[in-house]
Each structure stands twice: as C-alpha cells, then as structure tokens.
Chains A and B, each alone.
Chain A
Amino acid sequence: MTSDVGKMNETKSRSELSDIFYHLVRDPLGLVGLIIVGLIVFSAIFAPWIVPYDPIAMNIPDRMQGPSLSHLVGTDQLGRDTFSRVIMGGRVALQVAIPTIGGAITIGLILGMIAGYGPKWLDNVIVLLFDTVRSFPTVMFALAVVALVGPSLNTVILVIMVTSIPTYGRVVRTLTQSLRNSEFIEAERSLGASVFRIMRVHILPNVIGPIAVLAAMDIPTVIGLEAGLSFLGMGVKPPTPSWGSLLNDGYNLIRNTPWLIIAGGIPLILTTLGFTFLGEALRDVVDPKLRGRGK
C-alpha cells in the first residue's frame, strides 16, 4: 500500500511536467521567457560552432571598429570580434550558473529537509548556519575570498554557491515542515516507512516546484553576480570572454566607443528578462497547484 501512494506521487510528477509546459506556453510572458532562455541555452551549447570569429583571436589592425557587416557589433581594443565574444560569454555565464545553482540546490535540499524533518536542535543549528551565511553581503564576501585566493572562475562558483545555499535551504525547510504534519505522511509513518523513503518519495516531489521557480529567478542574479565580479576583475581571467569583462573593457574605453558597453549589457539584460519572465510564469503555474496539494 505504501508503494501505491509513492507511485501516485511519481506518476503525478511526470504528467505534471507536460502540464506545466502547456501552461507556460499559454502565458505570454512565459512564452517570451521560454523563447529567450531557449535561445541563450542554444547559443551557449553551440557557441564554438556559431561564432563567426575566434573570440580570443586578436587582430590589431581591425581594432576599435564600430558595427559593420563583417563585425556585427564591432571589435574591441585588441581587434577581437565583439559579437563572438558576446556569444562565448553566454557560454561562460551558463558555465558558472549551472554548477553554482545545481550545487546550491543540492546542498540546500539536503540541509533544508534535515532541518524541516529532523529534531529541533538540529533545525536550530542549521537555521543559525543559514542566517550566519546570509548575513554576509554576497559581493563583499566574494571579494574577501578573492582577495586571498586570487581571481578565478572556480572561486566565483564556489563562493556564489555557498552564499546561495540558504536561499534554497530555507524554502525547502519551510515546505518540509508544513508537509511533515500532513495526513498522508502521518499515514506513511504509521505504516513504518523509513525517513529516507518519505523524504524521497513524498517531500521531494512537492518541493521541486517552488525550487524550480526559485532557481529560475535566481539564475539572473547569479549570472549578474559573475558578470559583476568579472567586471571588477575578480572573476574570469582574460582572455576568456565574459559579459562582465566585456563591460570592463567597455568601461575603460567609454569615451572612445559605446559599443562594448552596449554589447556587454544587452545580453545580460536579455538573460535577466528571459529567466525572470520564465520564473514568474512558472510560479503562476506551480503556486495554485501547491496550495491544492499537501492538504
């Protein structure tokens, strides 16, 4: 009998995915978000093949050109094609965002479920940990770490991941706490289901929705953070193109050409909009369902 309830939850998740997708496409903002995100992911994956020029190939004679037919957005101070750097920058952005958020979600999930489901003292400890990590202004913290270790992509990933963990952890914890007392879990408990089973089969599927919404809203923040750190010179090392480093170049050359700043900023804005719209639409889809569940 326990397996039936479990199967119910599992089949629920599968058909819900297509359900969610269906609703997303209906929402105009969601559709726009989906398209933008799709474009970005696509260009990120296929970047090496789409770029018209090698992003790090210097070509001094052609430096500092404005947009033209051969260079869609012009060239930078070392003659590199800006458009190619923009596309490759997208790849870097996702290369940072995905492990960061993936890691934060994983650890946040585990800690959050433990906090919500386990003994009170453990909950208190974990919450205190969360609050402590959260008390650091993220950028300041990242800067402090970079000050010691030196700039690198991996540092950025690690730091942002650690500071993001409480965001997911808290949500998972609250959800777990509310689900913990719901009737079907009590039923499972009385039937002797193990804690892991309950967490895996019952709490997890109910938590995924809000987490996905959170992640979608968080991605632009993470990408923005990476871009910001790279802009400050604390992120990726040159010549790797990041939107942030493009903006840095643009900033240094602001009185010579506006194009680098424009080129660096637009993908950031687009990415932000795309993921935010997607997140909003997702939230509209997930939320009313969530309210109907755990009752």
Chain B
Amino acid sequence: MIGYIFKRLGLAAIITVLAVTLLFLIIHMIPGDPITTMLGPRATPELRAALEERMGLDKPLPIQIVLFFTNMLRGDLGTDVFSGRAVTAIVFGQLPYTLALIFVSITWAAILGITLGCYSAVNRNSLGDRLAGILSVSVIAVPAFVVSLYSLLLFAVKLKWFPAIGAGEPGNLPDQFWHLVLPSLAIGLSWVGYIARLVRASMLEVLGEGHIRTARAFGLPKSWITYKYALRLAILPTVTVIGVGMGFLLSAAVFTEIVFSRPGLGKLVIDSITTRNYPVVMGSVLFSTLIFVASTTLADIINALLDPRTRKGS
C-alpha cells in the first residue's frame, strides 16, 4: 500500500514537472511577445529592457525554467506587475472562494446523483428510472455557464430569490452560504446527471455479479445488499470520476464566478488577463493545474484504499 502511494505520488510529481515545463515552452513558442502584450505597442526600448530583466525574461530558456522551479518550490511564483505583491499570496487569497464553490457543488451533486443512480438501478426500467435517465442525459452536456446565466436571470434578477452578485459578507457564514446556492446549483447540475448515470450503470453491474446472488441466497435483507454490499462497490468509479472531474469543475468555476461576480481563481485570471498581469495569470493557471493533479492523485489513492485488490496488488 505504501509502495503504491509513493509510486502514485512520484508519477504526480513527474507530471507536474512536465506540465510546468510544457506551459513554459508553449508560452515561449507562441508567436507574440508577453512584454509587448503587457506594455502595449508604445513601449520604449528602455521600458522593455527593464521589464524583461524584472521578469527574468532576458536569460536563456533552460535557466528560466530551472529558476522558475526553484522559486516554485520555495513558494514563490513571482510578483504582481502592478502592486508588487507576491503572486502566491494573491492566489491564496482568492483560492478559498473557488474551493468552497467547487466543494459545495460537487457535494450536493454527488449526494443527489448517487441517490438517483441507486434508485434507478434498484427500480430498473420503472417509470422513475426512465424519466431519471432522460433527465440525466439531458443535463449532462449543457454548459455550466449557460445554466449559470439562466438561473441568474430567473432566480436572481427576475424573481429576486437569491443574490446576484458576490460571495456574501466575510465572516457571515449563512450569508455566504446563501450566496453559494445558485452558483453551486449551476455547476452541480450537469454533474448530477453524470454521477446518476455512472452509479446506475455501476450498480447494475454489481447487482448482477455472483456475490450478490450469494448474499440473496443467504437471506440478507434487501436494503443491506443494496447499500452495504452493492453501493459500496459501485461507488468506486465515482470517486475516480470526481477526482478527474476536478479539471472541469475548475473550468466551470471560472465561468460561474464571472457570471455571479464572485471572487475566486476564475475572476482573478480574467481580471489579470484584461490588465495584462502576466505573472498572476501564469501563477493562477499553474495553481489550478497543481490542484488538478493533486485531486486525480488523491482520487487514485482513495480508490486504492477502498479496494483491497489494488492495495495488496493481486
């Protein structure tokens, strides 16, 4: 088990290194000069040289990469072009909002999705199952930002049931929660469908397996079989899916934060792009990549913990 964890962490580290390097290379290979983008066409040569030096862009590429890594390991992702504040601090300031949004979204989506999927599997081909099936398929691919816009329009602007802007008063938890309702519903909606279908398929597969027949043959109560035996196995793929889905969740969060004018990583990136705050953009992108890699790694490890077969390496 420990061996597996180390291997998995090692892989994550390699991928992170490669990803960062790739990001770097792409940035430098793309036609277009960050300096010009940042300063505009009226930049004077002195200004350019100064900014170049400040951002370390005058050094050869491999050295830049190494420098970046060493800085990254020290927690230094550069400084904001305008305010001079550390990018890491800026990102950390906004991160909690995004994480809260993602967490709430996926939690309610998982709860509802698993319940729906379980119900569908146990009552296969019933009216409820068919309805749930069509609904699930329908909501899966609708882009989260469209759902955000519509719910903003209907529930916030027209009906005024929910706030349209912001994350709520700092320190006022109920208020913040109230502000989370619409955005997390918007993001979670497509996930409900996805998880429901996944759990349904997974449950059906498990319910058809020999050991479930054994359990029935020993008279075990139906609810016991459904939840303690079948669901426990059927949930495994969901865990991995959520881990991998973190990337999509982060992307969806970007849009949702813009639509609902919430603070967070997404808003930070967009604002930084508009103001050409290059280090902040890169820092944010890097951070979200790190989050993504971490979540997939975590999902794999949890998966291994839950399934003793991977644990003991059968």
Interface status of B89 (Cβ within 8 A of chain A): no
Interface status of A156 (Cβ within 8 A of chain B): no
Stretch with Cβ within 8 A of A (4 or more), from B105-113, B114-122, B230-238, B283-291: B283-291
Q: Chain A: interface secondary structure? A: helix
Interface status of B270 (Cβ within 8 A of chain A): yes
**B145 / chain A contacts, CB cutoff of 8 Å:** 224, 227-228, 231, 247
Interface status of A135 (Cβ within 8 A of chain B): yes
**A225 / chain B contacts, CB cutoff of 8 Å:** 143
Contact A132 B149 (CB under 8 A): no
Per-residue A-contact encoding for B207-226, CB less than 8 Å = 1, 0 else: 00000000000000000000
User: What is the CA–CA distance of A183 and B140 in the complex, to the nearest angstrom?
Assistant: 39
Q: How far is the CB of A229 from chain B (nearest CB, A)?
A: 10
A220: nearest chain-B partner, CB-CB: B141
Per-residue A-contact encoding for B5-24, CB less than 8 Å = 1, 0 else: 00000000011101100110
Contact A276 B14 (CB under 8 A): no
Contact B255 A228 (CB under 8 A): yes
B270: nearest chain-A partner, CB-CB: A232
Q: Chain B: interface secondary structure? A: helix
User: What is the CA–CA distance of A148 and B37 in the complex, to the nearest angstrom?
Assistant: 6
**B254 / chain A contacts, CB cutoff of 8 Å:** 139-140, 143, 232
Of the candidates B19, B134, B152, the one having the most CB atoms from chain A within 10 angstroms of its own CB is: B19
Given the interface pairs A132-B18, A143-B254, A144-B281, the reply to whether A224 lies near B273 with Cβ below 8 Å is no
Of the candidates A138, A143, A145, A277, the one having the most CB atoms from chain B within 10 angstroms of its own CB is: A143
Given the interface pairs A140-B284, A144-B23, A261-B153, the reply to whether A251 lies near B259 with Cβ below 8 Å is yes
Given the interface pairs A135-B19, A280-B137, the reply to whether A140 lies near B251 with Cβ below 8 Å is yes
Contact A138 B146 (CB under 8 A): no
* Contact pick for B258, options A29, A140, A227, A232, CB 8 Å: A232
**B18 / chain A contacts, CB cutoff of 8 Å:** 128-129, 132
**B2 / chain A contacts, CB cutoff of 8 Å:** none
Per-residue A-contact encoding for B244-269, CB less than 8 Å = 1, 0 else: 00111011001100110000000001
User: What is the CA–CA distance of A276 and B284 in the complex, to the nearest angstrom?
Assistant: 32
User: What is the CA–CA distance of A234 and B273 in the complex, to the nearest angstrom?
Assistant: 10
User: What is the CA–CA distance of A176 and B146 in the complex, to the nearest angstrom?
Assistant: 37
Per-residue B-contact encoding for A128-142, CB less than 8 Å = 1, 0 else: 110111111111110
**B191 / chain A contacts, CB cutoff of 8 Å:** none
Contact B289 A228 (CB under 8 A): no
Contact A147 B19 (CB under 8 A): no
User: What is the CA–CA distance of A243 and B177 in the complex, to the nearest angstrom?
Assistant: 31
Contact B282 A144 (CB under 8 A): yes
**B247 / chain A contacts, CB cutoff of 8 Å:** 134-138
Within 8 A of A (CB), among B272-314: 272-273, 276, 278, 281-282, 284-285, 288-289, 292-293, 296
Q: A129-B18, A228-B145 are in contact. List 12 more A-B contacts (CB 8 A).
A: A135-B289, A135-B293, A136-B23, A136-B285, A140-B254, A141-B285, A143-B270, A143-B285, A147-B272, A150-B37, A275-B141, A276-B140
Residues on A lying within 8 angstroms of B by beta carbon are 29, 128-129, 131-141, 143-150, 217, 220-221, 224-225, 227-228, 231-232, 234, 247, 250-251, 254-255, 258, 261-262, 264-265, 268-269, 272-273, 275-277, 280
A-B contact pairs, 10 of them (CB 8 A): A131-B15, A136-B289, A139-B250, A140-B254, A140-B285, A144-B282, A144-B285, A147-B276, A217-B141, A224-B142
Q: What 3 A-B pairs come out closest when comparing CB atoms?
A: A224-B143, A139-B251, A220-B141
